[in-house]
Amino acid sequence: MTAPLVYVLSGPNLNRLGTREPEIYGSDTLDDIHRAVVTEARALGLVADCRQTNHEGELVDWLHEAVDVGADVVLNPGALTHYSYAVRDACAIVTTSGRSLVEVHLSNPATREEFRHTSVVAGVATGTIAGFGLQSYLLALRALV
């Protein structure tokens, strides 16, 4: 039997982790996160496909692809979290197809600026994990199993 596939998707500006506002996001780079995710996924009996894009439409396409290949999703939508109804609708396509989708954030948006307090994704996600840096991604994998 092949191991279940998980798409681990990150949105805009997350390719700048490591140097982007390290006091908020920490010093881990996205490569560090992806390496840790692949290792943790393997330990949990999953296969992780890790990707990042700065483009809303590409993220939507990857969410559709997750449905088509039967993958669960760990998603950090970045700022798209707060206003992208296109990403929200694509997440709803994932979860209504019977797949799980865990929304993750490195920081805890609820403790930050007012505009970050709204997630348009949360209402269609299976669950949300926020505020634990790199560990948010690893906890999301654990949640999936």
- Which of 7, 105, 117, 137 is an active site residue? 105
> Could you say whether residue 109 binds ligand DQA (CB under 6 A)?
yes
Q: Which of residues 11-50 bind ligand DQA (CB under 6 A)?
A: 13
Burial degree of 37 (CB within 10 A; 0-12, 13-18, 19+):
buried
The answer to whether 117 is a known catalytic residue is no
The answer to whether 55 is a known catalytic residue is no
CB 128 within 8 A of CB 112: no
DSSP strands (E only) in 24-100: 47-52, 72-76
Closest CA to 59 of 37, 41, 74: 74
> Could you say whether residue 107 binds ligand DQA (CB under 6 A)?
yes
Q: Please give the size of the binding site for ligand DQA, defined by CB under 6 A.
A: 10
Point out which residues bind ligand DQA (CB under 6 A).
13, 76, 78-79, 81, 105-107, 109, 116
